[in-house]
Structure 1
Amino acid sequence: MNNTEDVQRKKQQARSSAFLARAEMSPVLCEEAGKRLVAHAHQAGLLTSSPTVSAFISMGTEISTLPLLAALLEAQRKILVPRLGKGREVLWSTLPDLDSIHDMGAKRPKEPSNQALSPESLHAAGVVFVPALAVDHDGNRLGRGAAWYDEALAFRSEHALTVAICWPWEFSETAVPTQPHDVHMDAVLTPEAFTLLAS
């Protein structure tokens, strides 16, 4: 087994462990965690630090981001949310309100029904919220395995603050296995705290 295969194996083991732990999270717990998330985001100034923010529409056992999206809308921020294009392409859409979010089917995040924007649109966001299954204290992030978020982040501004959102136990002292394409996180936001990571 070469090094790449070894890292991929370790990542898959970590994903399996993460999903197993998340299996206990009910929709009610996800919603409550989302509300606590907003309180820490507000305290850290993340809701008003940039006129344009990129966030994501949560799915499954992720912490609900609906309270965060609602708070950003209330703060009159322009919100960019991802839309899956062809293949590995990630496009973006402006989120006008929560009523515009539509179900896109199983295993796909919900999306607004308005116009899709180019991958380069992400460059306007000063804060970029990213889903994570695990993050270590060096900013290494574990995603779902498709790497499409890492590719999408290539278009973010060099001045953007990239913030991983995860459950508290997923912000770990244990090193997250990484590959060259993995994008480093600048901070971690959980329902318990906001942590700015060393650059």
Structure 2
Amino acid sequence: MNDNTGNIVVLKQGMRHEAIAKRKEVHESERAEAGKRLGKLAISLLDDSLTIDAKPGDTVAAYVSMGTEVPTLELLDELAGRRLRVLVPRLGKGRDIGWSEYYGESGLREMPHTATGGLRPAEPEGKVLGPNAIAHASIVFIPAFAIDLDGIRLGRGGGWYDQVLRLCRPDALKIGVCWDWEFIDDHGVVPRESHDMAVDAIMTPERLITLK
């Protein structure tokens, strides 16, 4: 790791710590309301045929929120309610990529913490699909701690979603999801490494911002 890369890693770690600290100040009732608004925004997106054309049976990919993230169960249920095929991550060891279909909250199982004590999102109990399942998705929702106007997102730090973004089909709409205050209305603010992949849009509980 050269000095510049090391500095970027330190900057990212500091931004994550600040984001988590601010997220912890969000009251549980406010968090639940934010999840509902996120679900409604997803419906607005699907109803806007000028932005995306998603038909029943089409595949979309999202994720099961955890910890201080904006709750996504309402979002997932709205997508599934439109009869879309909804994929969510199945985490293997390290950076292993896998997916399973989401059929509702009742089909999720809580996962044990990682070996280092980190959180893991709940996962469906169904069949595990391989990395290339994401190539069928027309919309991909991705968690972030911060996103700037270049579409560069601050992720969890493992590089998992940067790998995912490389496997997306070229015309997929890639949407970073964060709290509204985590959208940075400026360019070049989130430190970027060579492996970082940009998103096309940002969704917060308050708004959808299209970047491309």
What are the within-5 Å matches in structure 2 for residues 143-182 of structure 1?
A: 143-174=155-186, 175-182=189-196
Question: Is the deviation greater in 32-41 or in 180-189?
Answer: 32-41
What are the within-5 Å matches in structure 2 for residues 1-199 of structure 1?
A: 2-45=3-46, 49-50=53-54, 51-106=58-113, 107-174=119-186, 175-198=189-212
User: Is the CA contact (8 Å cut-off) linking 1:26 and 1:61 kept in structure 2?
Assistant: no
Tell me the SS of whatever aligns to 1:44: helix
> What CA deviation, in whole Å up to 9, does each residue of 1:116-155 have, x standing for no partner?
0000000000000000000001100000111111112221
Q: Shift of the alpha carbon at 1:58?
A: 0.3
Q: Shift of the alpha carbon at 1:38?
A: 1.8
**Superposition TM-score, scaled by structure 1 size:** 0.94
Aligned residues: 198
> What CA deviation, in whole Å up to 9, does each residue of 1:49-102 have, x standing for no partner?
331110100001111100011111111110000011122111000112221111
User: Is the CA contact (8 Å cut-off) linking 1:41 and 1:194 kept in structure 2?
Assistant: no
Tell me the SS of whatever aligns to 1:43: helix
Question: Is the deviation greater in 145-154 or in 12-21?
Answer: 145-154
User: Is the CA contact (8 Å cut-off) linking 2:144 and 2:177 kept in structure 1?
Assistant: yes
Q: Shift of the alpha carbon at 1:46?
A: 6.8
Q: Shift of the alpha carbon at 1:32?
A: 0.8
CA distance in 2, matches of 1:42, 1:134: 23
User: Is the CA contact (8 Å cut-off) linking 2:177 and 2:203 kept in structure 1?
Assistant: yes
Of all paired residues, the percent bearing the same amino acid is 41
CA distance in 1, matches of 2:181, 2:45: 20
Tell me the SS of whatever aligns to 1:180: coil
Segments of 5+ residues of structure 1 without an aligned counterpart are none
Q: CA RMSD in A?
A: 1.6
CA distance in 1, matches of 2:143, 2:47: 16
CA distance in 2, matches of 1:121, 1:44: 22
Question: Is the deviation greater in 96-105 or in 113-122?
Answer: 96-105
Segments of 5+ residues of structure 2 without an aligned counterpart are 114-118
Tell me the SS of whatever aligns to 2:191: coil
CA distance in 1, matches of 2:101, 2:92: 15
**Superposition TM-score, scaled by structure 2 size:** 0.89
Change (3 A) 1:136 1:46: farther
Tell me the SS of whatever aligns to 2:46: coil
> What CA deviation, in whole Å up to 9, does each residue of 1:155-193 have, x standing for no partner?
111110000010000001351001011110100000110
